[in-house]
Amino acid sequence: MRPNVMARTLVSLTAVAGIAAGTVAAAGTSFAASAPASKAAVSSQAVAPRAVNNLGLSTEEAKKVQIWLQYWGYNDSVDGQLGTNSWKAFQHCLRDAWGYTGDIDGIVGPNTIKALQRLLQKSWGYTGDIDGIAGSGTRAAFERFANGILL
């Protein structure tokens, strides 16, 4: 009987030592894997498209744009958040009427902004360059567009 007690004790001590060693080893690797303070870590947010981009519009104004897109058959959701699907719908509209030639990807990039600027220049008081930058003039004209929609 005595050898069984010794064997169980030895196995238990080995298991405890293994668990402790694994915990220390894991802690050591977590500290070793830390990035130096001087280098910024790249996050998925830095490369992922922004989920919602109202270009300065309020939720109510964004809803007006979505209703306008819906009226013309481009959009089916109205939530006041110009997200990827709303921008895909807008890109379809911009492609059909305002010279958008980029991918229908829902990303509000320079090509999308240029086409939007052409739309805003035609009837909504945008007087700036067609430069693909959503600056204050573009945002102000986009707000006029949202508030001037008559359905």
Q: What is the percent of the chain with per-residue pLDDT over 70, rounded to a whole number?
A: 66
Burial of 53 (0-12, 13-18, 19+ CB in 10 A): buried
Query: Beta-carbon neighbour count of residue 26 at 10 Å?
Result: 10
The answer to whether 97 touches 85, Cβ cutoff 8 Å, is no
The answer to whether 90 touches 108, Cβ cutoff 8 Å, is no
The answer to whether 143 touches 117, Cβ cutoff 8 Å, is no
pTM of this structure: 0.65
Domains of the chain, residue spans: 2-34, 59-148
Residue 18 predicted with pLDDT over 50:
no
Residue 55 predicted with pLDDT over 70:
yes
Give residue 16's pLDDT band: very low, low, confident or very high (50, 70, 90).
very low
Beta-bridge partners for 143 = none
Bigger pLDDT: 58 vs 41: 58
| CB proximity list for 135: less than 8 A, separation 6 or greater | 128
Residue pointed to by tokens 């979505």? 66
The answer to whether 131 touches 117, Cβ cutoff 8 Å, is yes
Radius of gyration, CA atoms only, the chain: 28
